[in-house]
Amino acid sequence: MFLSVVIPARDAWPTLERLLVSLAASGRQPDEIVIVDDGSVESLESLAMRFGARFIRNEAAMGPAAARNRGVAASRGEIIIFFDADVSVHTDTISRLAAQFESRPDVDGVIGSYDDNPADPGFLSRYRNLLHAWVHQNASRNASTFWGACGAIRREAFLSVGGFSNTYARPSIEDIELGCRLIKSGRKLILDRKARICHHKAWSFWKMLKTDIFDRAVPWTRLILSERHLPNDLNLRSGQRLNAALALMTLLMAPIALVHWNYAVAWLAVLGAYLTRNWRFYSYLASRQGPVFTLRAIPVHWLYFIYSCAGFAIGMVSHLLPGLGHQRGSKAGEQRAGG
């Protein structure tokens, strides 16, 4: 089984080097590595050559979707494995992904998970990456989407749906949209929770807010409304939706609870329900980072649900009102992979 690793990268020299070092130490080596430099200021060619990778350069940034499509077109593998340039792999990541295809001929795609030891020491970075790991570790094994940071797919399945949509000119939900088309076409995707990667991204508050609202929640809402399908998986599981509703209720009830004691009792009940429902996640954080970290994370996690609700509302409005120039999920197939 010929394995091709495709990596889109832009101005990612330090993290890409860590990824390539980890690939070199992998228990199962990929048969080829294809790096697509998506308009970096400083070309990544010398780094790619140092590790024996094939190198393709976009002189102007086209976005990770188009970069991945170019990488696939230049690759030869029966199985295409995508990694983001800001991750590193465990020694068994590639072997686990490959084993799923070797033992399961019915499987068309496999996604992995972040590990529970993110590289960046910052509080927000560790919270954010642990949240992502928690979501994947508790998701359904029968995946409802694809994941470009650590996802493998049969070449035939990828090409049959036209690859990633080139309409996503920046990092967004291009992998989720691809997964949606794969599922609709009858392809089988699974999650291997033990196929893990380490995330090296450094998060700031404003970067987290912008990414979660405008690069995730808003376009994902548009896609859901266009496709008229709400998957019960990952961040959209029914339990997560209930958590978001309870968080929003605590916010909306707070002004009245401050002046009416009977509403204060109701507010405390809602808050108690919210904390109880998230207790397993808080226990997970405490086991990895300790109680002080967890106490700091609780209000940030509450805010995450609040602004996710705001992103959903913005996405609904922008979908329903014409002339706002957004990308609709139903139109996302207009530009696909082709070379």
What average pLDDT does this structure show over 311-327?
72
Domain spanning 3-203, CATH architecture: Alpha-Beta Complex (3.90)
Q: Alpha-carbon distance 292 to 205, whole Å?
A: 19
Tally of CB atoms within 10 A around 34: 25
Global pTM reads: 0.89
Query: Of how many residues is the chain composed?
Result: 339
Domain ranges of the chain: 3-203, 234-328
Residues with Cβ < 8 Å from 287, sequence gap 6 or more? none
- The arithmetic mean of pLDDT across residues 50-65, rounded, is 95
Task: Using pLDDT thresholds of 50, 70 and 90, give the confidence band for residue 68.
Answer: very high
pLDDT digits (tens, 9 = 90+) for 151-187: 999 999 999 999 999 989 888 899 999 999 999 999 9
Q: For residue 226, what pLDDT is reported?
A: 81
pLDDT given at position 330:
39
Three-class secondary structure assignment of the chain: CCEEEEEEECCCHHHHHHHHHHHHCCCCCCCEEEEEEECCCCCCHHHHHHCCCEEEEECCCCCHHHHHHHHHHHCCCCEEEEECCCEEECCCHHHHHHHHHHHCCCCCEEEEEECCCCCCCCHHHHHHHHHHHHHHHCCCCECCCCCCCEEEEEHHHHHHCCCCCCCCCCCCCHHHHHHHHHHHCCCCEEEEEEEEEEECCCCCHHHHHHHHHHHHHHHHHHHHHHHCCCCCCHHHCHHHHHHHHHHHHHHHHHHHHCCCHHHHHHHHHHHHHHHHHCHHHHHHHHHHHCHHHHHHHHHHHHHHHHHHHHHHHHHHHHHHCCCCCCCCHHHCCCCCCCC
pLDDT at 229: 67
Query: Could you give the CA distance from residue 134 to residue 73 in angstroms, rounded to a whole number?
Result: 34
pLDDT at site 328: 41
Q: To the nearest whole number, what is the mean pLDDT of the chain?
A: 90
**Distance separating alpha carbons of residues 124 and 4, to the nearest angstrom:** 33
Residue 186 is predicted with a pLDDT of 95
Q: In the predicted model, is pLDDT for residue 319 greater than 50?
A: yes
In which residue are the tokens 């909306």 written? Answer: 252
pLDDT in tens, 86-145: 999 999 999 999 999 999 999 999 999 999 998 899 999 999 999 999 999 998 899 989
pLDDT in tens, 185-232: 999 999 999 999 999 999 999 999 999 999 988 888 888 888 776 664
pLDDT for the residue 234: 59
